[in-house]
Amino acid sequence: MSLRLFNTLTGQKETFVPLEPGRVRYYVCGVTVYDLCHLGHARTYVTFDVVLRHLRASGFDVTYVRNFTDVDDKIINRANKDGVHALEVSKRYIDEFYTDMDALGILRATIEPKVSGTMPEIIALIEKLVAGKNAYVVERDVYFAVDTFPGYLKLSKRNVEDLEAGARVDVDERKKNPMDFALWKSAKPGEPSWDSPWGKGRPGWHIECSAMAFRHLGESLDIHAGGRDLIFPHHENEIAQSEAASHVPFAKYWMHSGMLNIDDTKMSKSLGNFFTIREVLKDVDAEAMRMFFLTAHYRSQVSFDLAYHCPKCGALVTRQIAESLRHDACAFTKEEARRAVKFVGIDEAEKRLFYVYRTLMKCDALAASMPASEGPVLKPELLAKASSEFTEAMDDDFNTAAALSSTSALLSFANELCDKPPKPRDQSVRTAARIAAELRRGGAILGLFQGDPVKRVADRRVRLIAAKKIDTAAVDALLEERKSARTEKRFADADAVRAKLAALGVDVKDTPSGSVWDVKED
């Protein structure tokens, strides 16, 4: 089996054949650093992080370039608003970007260029386009002439008439065609600017990516990726300016990730219906968020569902009620209402994630109970099937949802095995070790299951105790009370104590070595 991926350019799944055997030139459009990242960014970068990991696991030597757009109108606006220099704004949000991406386990790119560090290349590229008559200078601005590039709109599969019918294109008399876009914009007073043959100014939005890709990867890339919303105009314009200058195909494969919706509408800054990554991570596990994204195919649109609860009585309420800050006799603050919002999909993913970690914990314990030994394992066919299904799913256009489901049989078998290891014991021990290794192998490609299970489970417990405000001293006291009731065989009393503990959100588990407790799952 070989890797197949969906190419936006051709509209179909194709076998992946890199331009140079064994090597992949991979470019992903990065963020404009003027604000904190939201969940939509998280989904996109998790998606392309998995693509990177799978390419590498498949044996490719990947050069991964992901840029930072640090010269842009929105950054300038932000700088003016905050009364600081534009570069301070971008520096700050690059740091914030790393904080969020690191939390989500997203790997650093091989090269992470910035627009501000690529000016000579950008200017040279624009000069080349002007010299080749694909671009023209008007006063101190430079525009790309879309009519000079026959392949224009081949990626988004539109035609100029359709776009013009939209009638939302800026009417600028100075452009030869309304679709022409700026390569260089002359500086307005107070803006950061760079010297150029056309005077002080800065690059237009699209040219930077072409210049950065050319500089670090050459004129032809294997894969160019980004969010679906970049297909037009951003990627379309990148193709036009790059290919007009180089006369070779800019990227062989174009990959686009689906949008993240909230309440059935795309999450976006302009609509204001967004959650920043970090505000959601206050309430949920980062790895669970990552897993949530991977339970759906990367090209499909994912809905981020919210469940609204009354902060006072806990009842499930409608969004309208939650926003009205009043539910029957309960009244609450906006902050309380926000804290009571449940992220349905992530909560579900978190349950599954910790089922995996508990399973790994049991496998590790069994594996460590005896020195490692050589020999056959139990159900080798189950292991082999899970492994090949996982790889096949990933090879089929990065079908992470199917890959994840291929681990199910392995997980239930692991639990069965660890709970009652069949004899001979050394065979069970080897099998547990093999299953754990296989789960971790697949997990590494998804960027999941790499934590220390004991630590992850313990940390989650601490987090849930804090979130549910469980009084551990009270729990311990009740546990003592129950212990004496049990030793005296006063089971009715013991059960009454169990009920009290349940009311506190605590589950008690009686083991041969005594009673332990955990936070009750919702």
Partner RNA sequence: GGCUCGGUACCCAAGUGGUAAGGGAGCGCUCUGCAAAAGCGUCAUUCAGCGGUUCGAAUCCGCUCCGAGCCUCCA
How far is the C-alpha of 7 from the C-alpha of 155, rounded, in Å?
Answer: 10
- Token pair recorded at residue 78: 């932000």
Which tokens is 396 given?
């089929």
Give the nearest distance from C-beta 481 to RNA in angstroms.
12
Rule CB under 7 A: is residue 364 a binding residue for RNA?
no
374 lines the binding site for RNA (CB under 7 A): no
Residues in the chain: 522
Q: Which residue has the tokens 């534009």?
A: 86
Tokens coding 163: 């776009």
| Residue among 172, 416, 452, 476 that touches RNA (CB under 7 A) | 416
Among 62, 145, 366, 494, interactor with RNA by CB under 7 A = 494
- Report the residue from 156, 177, 193, 246 that binds RNA according to the rule CB under 7 A: 156
CB of 247 to RNA, least distance (A): 25
Contact call for residue 104 and RNA (CB under 7 A): no
Least distance (Å) from RNA to the CB of residue 209?
10
Task: Pick one of 108, 269, 334, 425: the residue that binds RNA (CB under 7 A).
Answer: 269
With CA atoms as reference, report the closest residue to 343 among 306, 303, 301. 306
d(CA 109, CA 233) in angstroms, rounded, equals 25
Which of 91, 92, 140, 266 is the binder for RNA (CB under 7 A)?
266
Task: Provide the token pair at 142.
Answer: 């430079």
Q: Which of 14, 96, 283, 348 binds RNA (CB under 7 A)?
A: 348
Closest distance of CB 169 from RNA, Å: 4
The correct pick among 41, 54, 114, 216 for binding RNA (CB under 7 A) is: 41
- Asked whether 144 and 133 are in contact (CB, 8 A), the reply is no
Interactions with RNA, residue window 221-240 (CB under 7 A): 226-234
Tell me if 215 sits within 8 A of 121, measured CB to CB: yes
**Per CB under 7 A, which of residues 286..345 are in contact with RNA?**
295-297, 300-303, 305, 344-345
For residue 357, the number of C-alpha atoms closer than 13 Å in the C-beta half-sphere is 23
Q: Quote the least distance from Cβ 480 to RNA, whole Å.
A: 14
CA distance 337 to 325: 7
The CA distance from 76 to 86, in Å, is: 5
Q: Which is nearer to RNA, 310 or 497 (CB)?
A: 497
401 near RNA, judged by CB under 7 A: yes
57 secondary structure, DSSP code: H
- Nearest Cα neighbor of 382 from 438, 440, 421 is 438
Single-letter residue type at 375 = G
If one asks whether residue 157 binds RNA (CB under 7 A), the answer comes out as: yes
C-beta of 388 vs 412, nearer to RNA: 412
Is residue 503 part of the contact set for RNA (CB under 7 A)?
no
Question: Does residue 163 belong to the site contacting RNA (CB under 7 A)?
Answer: yes
Q: Which one, 229 or 481, has the nearer CB to RNA?
A: 229
